Amino acid sequence: MERVSFSSMEDGTKADFELLERAEREYLRDLPARLLATLEGLKNSFAGYQVSRYQHSLQSATRAKRDGRSEEYVAAALLHDIGDELAPYTHGEMVAAIMRPYIAPEICWIVEHHGIFQQFHYGAVTGDDPDARERYREHPSFDACAEFCALYDQNCFDPAFESLPIGEFAPLVRRVFSEPRYLSAG
Protein backbone atom coordinates (compact mmCIF):
# COMPACT_ATOMS: atom_id res chain seq x y z
CA MET A 1 0.00 0.00 0.00
CA GLU A 2 1.29 3.42 -0.93
CA ARG A 3 1.76 5.93 1.84
CA VAL A 4 2.48 9.64 1.94
CA SER A 5 6.00 10.85 2.61
CA PHE A 6 5.13 13.26 5.41
CA SER A 7 4.50 13.02 9.12
CA SER A 8 3.24 16.62 9.29
CA MET A 9 0.75 17.87 6.72
CA GLU A 10 2.68 21.10 6.17
CA ASP A 11 5.51 18.97 4.75
CA GLY A 12 3.27 17.19 2.22
CA THR A 13 3.92 17.32 -1.50
CA LYS A 14 1.47 17.62 -4.36
CA ALA A 15 2.01 13.91 -5.05
CA ASP A 16 1.23 13.08 -1.39
CA PHE A 17 -2.09 14.91 -1.49
CA GLU A 18 -3.01 13.39 -4.86
CA LEU A 19 -2.40 9.96 -3.32
CA LEU A 20 -4.67 10.85 -0.40
CA GLU A 21 -7.35 12.11 -2.76
CA ARG A 22 -7.33 8.79 -4.66
CA ALA A 23 -7.49 6.84 -1.38
CA GLU A 24 -10.38 8.97 -0.14
CA ARG A 25 -12.38 8.42 -3.34
CA GLU A 26 -11.98 4.65 -2.89
CA TYR A 27 -12.96 4.91 0.77
CA LEU A 28 -16.05 6.99 -0.02
CA ARG A 29 -17.23 4.39 -2.53
CA ASP A 30 -17.63 2.02 0.44
CA LEU A 31 -19.82 4.41 2.47
CA PRO A 32 -23.10 2.64 1.55
CA ALA A 33 -21.66 -0.69 2.74
CA ARG A 34 -20.50 0.88 6.01
CA LEU A 35 -23.92 2.45 6.57
CA LEU A 36 -25.65 -0.90 5.98
CA ALA A 37 -23.18 -2.65 8.31
CA THR A 38 -23.91 -0.05 11.00
CA LEU A 39 -27.62 -0.66 10.52
CA GLU A 40 -27.00 -4.41 10.92
CA GLY A 41 -25.39 -3.62 14.28
CA LEU A 42 -28.76 -2.41 15.53
CA LYS A 43 -29.92 -6.03 15.59
CA ASN A 44 -28.14 -6.34 18.94
CA SER A 45 -28.95 -2.88 20.24
CA PHE A 46 -30.25 -2.24 23.73
CA ALA A 47 -33.18 -4.36 24.86
CA GLY A 48 -36.61 -3.44 26.12
CA TYR A 49 -38.58 -2.80 22.97
CA GLN A 50 -40.69 -5.55 21.40
CA VAL A 51 -38.52 -5.30 18.27
CA SER A 52 -34.83 -4.57 17.74
CA ARG A 53 -33.71 -1.13 16.60
CA TYR A 54 -32.90 -2.86 13.30
CA GLN A 55 -36.53 -4.01 12.92
CA HIS A 56 -37.67 -0.54 13.97
CA SER A 57 -35.58 0.90 11.15
CA LEU A 58 -36.96 -1.56 8.60
CA GLN A 59 -40.51 -0.74 9.71
CA SER A 60 -39.85 2.98 9.33
CA ALA A 61 -38.38 2.58 5.85
CA THR A 62 -41.08 0.13 4.77
CA ARG A 63 -43.86 2.52 5.78
CA ALA A 64 -42.14 5.42 4.00
CA LYS A 65 -41.58 3.37 0.84
CA ARG A 66 -45.17 2.12 0.80
CA ASP A 67 -46.35 5.72 1.13
CA GLY A 68 -44.39 6.63 -2.02
CA ARG A 69 -41.77 8.80 -0.33
CA SER A 70 -38.62 9.72 -2.25
CA GLU A 71 -35.56 7.48 -2.18
CA GLU A 72 -33.76 10.05 0.00
CA TYR A 73 -36.65 10.05 2.47
CA VAL A 74 -36.79 6.24 2.59
CA ALA A 75 -33.01 6.07 3.11
CA ALA A 76 -33.32 8.59 5.95
CA ALA A 77 -36.15 6.59 7.52
CA LEU A 78 -34.02 3.46 7.31
CA LEU A 79 -30.91 5.06 8.83
CA HIS A 80 -32.36 7.69 11.18
CA ASP A 81 -31.37 5.82 14.36
CA ILE A 82 -27.95 4.39 13.41
CA GLY A 83 -26.32 6.93 15.72
CA ASP A 84 -28.03 5.48 18.81
CA GLU A 85 -25.09 3.20 19.55
CA LEU A 86 -22.48 5.96 19.75
CA ALA A 87 -24.46 9.12 20.44
CA PRO A 88 -27.59 8.15 22.39
CA TYR A 89 -28.35 11.74 23.43
CA THR A 90 -27.45 13.36 20.10
CA HIS A 91 -27.97 10.58 17.58
CA GLY A 92 -30.14 12.70 15.31
CA GLU A 93 -27.40 15.31 14.96
CA MET A 94 -24.82 12.61 14.25
CA VAL A 95 -26.88 10.90 11.56
CA ALA A 96 -27.92 14.21 9.96
CA ALA A 97 -24.25 15.15 9.67
CA ILE A 98 -23.54 11.89 7.85
CA MET A 99 -26.51 12.42 5.53
CA ARG A 100 -26.02 16.12 4.80
CA PRO A 101 -23.95 15.78 1.58
CA TYR A 102 -26.32 13.13 0.16
CA ILE A 103 -29.84 13.97 1.33
CA ALA A 104 -31.98 17.09 0.94
CA PRO A 105 -31.67 19.71 3.70
CA GLU A 106 -35.29 19.37 4.89
CA ILE A 107 -34.91 15.62 5.39
CA CYS A 108 -31.64 16.14 7.25
CA TRP A 109 -33.38 18.66 9.50
CA ILE A 110 -36.07 16.09 10.23
CA VAL A 111 -33.48 13.46 11.16
CA GLU A 112 -31.52 15.93 13.27
CA HIS A 113 -34.59 16.99 15.28
CA HIS A 114 -36.69 13.83 15.36
CA GLY A 115 -35.64 13.00 18.93
CA ILE A 116 -37.16 16.10 20.46
CA PHE A 117 -40.24 15.85 18.21
CA GLN A 118 -40.67 12.23 19.26
CA GLN A 119 -41.20 13.35 22.87
CA PHE A 120 -44.63 14.60 21.81
CA HIS A 121 -45.73 10.96 21.62
CA TYR A 122 -44.49 9.82 25.05
CA GLY A 123 -43.40 12.82 27.12
CA ALA A 124 -46.57 13.07 29.20
CA VAL A 125 -46.01 9.51 30.44
CA THR A 126 -42.25 9.74 31.09
CA GLY A 127 -42.08 13.23 32.54
CA ASP A 128 -40.32 14.61 29.46
CA ASP A 129 -41.79 17.74 27.96
CA PRO A 130 -44.22 16.65 25.22
CA ASP A 131 -44.21 20.23 23.94
CA ALA A 132 -40.44 20.58 23.70
CA ARG A 133 -40.74 20.64 19.92
CA GLU A 134 -42.67 23.92 20.13
CA ARG A 135 -39.39 25.85 20.24
CA TYR A 136 -39.17 25.01 16.51
CA ARG A 137 -42.79 25.92 15.68
CA GLU A 138 -41.77 28.68 13.27
CA HIS A 139 -39.26 26.53 11.39
CA PRO A 140 -40.40 25.68 7.84
CA SER A 141 -39.76 21.95 8.47
CA PHE A 142 -41.72 21.76 11.73
CA ASP A 143 -44.76 20.04 10.20
CA ALA A 144 -42.61 17.66 8.15
CA CYS A 145 -40.72 16.55 11.25
CA ALA A 146 -43.93 16.11 13.25
CA GLU A 147 -45.31 14.03 10.39
CA PHE A 148 -42.16 11.88 10.20
CA CYS A 149 -42.41 11.06 13.90
CA ALA A 150 -46.15 10.34 13.70
CA LEU A 151 -46.03 8.17 10.56
CA TYR A 152 -42.54 6.66 10.46
CA ASP A 153 -41.05 6.59 13.95
CA GLN A 154 -43.28 6.41 17.03
CA ASN A 155 -45.42 3.65 15.52
CA CYS A 156 -42.57 1.44 14.26
CA PHE A 157 -42.17 -0.89 17.23
CA ASP A 158 -44.80 -3.42 16.17
CA PRO A 159 -43.70 -7.08 16.29
CA ALA A 160 -46.62 -8.05 14.00
CA PHE A 161 -45.70 -5.57 11.26
CA GLU A 162 -44.34 -7.18 8.09
CA SER A 163 -41.38 -5.12 6.98
CA LEU A 164 -39.72 -5.39 3.65
CA PRO A 165 -36.34 -7.17 3.86
CA ILE A 166 -33.06 -5.25 3.85
CA GLY A 167 -32.49 -6.44 0.28
CA GLU A 168 -35.27 -4.07 -0.80
CA PHE A 169 -33.37 -1.12 0.65
CA ALA A 170 -29.69 -1.91 0.05
CA PRO A 171 -29.73 -0.82 -3.63
CA LEU A 172 -31.53 2.39 -2.65
CA VAL A 173 -28.88 3.15 0.01
CA ARG A 174 -26.15 2.52 -2.59
CA ARG A 175 -27.81 4.94 -5.02
CA VAL A 176 -28.49 7.70 -2.50
CA PHE A 177 -25.02 7.56 -0.93
CA SER A 178 -23.07 7.04 -4.15
CA GLU A 179 -22.60 10.70 -4.99
CA PRO A 180 -22.88 13.79 -2.80
CA ARG A 181 -25.47 16.18 -4.21
CA TYR A 182 -25.71 18.73 -1.42
CA LEU A 183 -22.15 19.82 -0.73
CA SER A 184 -22.03 23.38 0.54
CA ALA A 185 -19.90 25.89 -1.29
CA GLY A 186 -18.09 26.97 1.87
Query: Cα 141 to chain center, whole Å?
Result: 17
Whole-number pLDDT of residue 183: 87
Pick the range with the lowest mean pLDDT from 35-39, 139-143, 173-177, 180-184.
Answer: 180-184
Does residue 186 have a pLDDT over 70?
no
Residues 38, 46: contact at Cβ < 8 Å? no
Q: What integer pLDDT is reported at residue 1 of this predicted model?
A: 85
Instruction: Write out the chain in H/E/C secondary structure.
Output: CCCCCCCCHHHCCHHHHHHHHHHHHHHHHCHHHHHHHHHHHHHHCCCCCCCCHHHHHHHHHHHHHHCCCCHHHHHHHHHCCHHHHCCCCCHHHHHHHHHCCCCCHHHHHHHHHHHHHHHHHCHHHHCCCCCHHHHHCCCCCHHHHHHHHHHHCCCCCCCCCCCCCHHHCHHHHHHHCCCCCCCCCC
Could you tell me which of 175, 170, 107 has the C-alpha nearest to residue 140?
A: 107
CATH label, 12-176, candidates 1.10.357.10, 3.40.50.720, 1.10.3210.10, 3.40.50.620: 1.10.3210.10
Q: For the chain, what is the mean pLDDT?
A: 95
Map out the domains of the chain as residue ranges: 12-176
CA-CA distances (angstroms) from residue 116 to 7, 89, 91, 109, 172?
A: 43, 10, 11, 12, 27
114 closest CA partner among 133, 138, 100, 135? 133
Which one-letter amino acid corresponds to residue 173?
V
Band of pLDDT at residue 45, cut at 50, 70 and 90:
confident
What pLDDT digit, counting tens, does each position of 82-111 carry? Answer: 999 899 899 999 999 999 999 999 999 999
Confidence (pLDDT) at 184: 72
In tens, the pLDDT along 102-157 reads: 999 999 999 999 999 999 999 999 999 999 999 999 999 999 999 999 999 999 99
CA 162 – CA 153 distance, rounded (Å) = 15
pTM over 0.75: yes
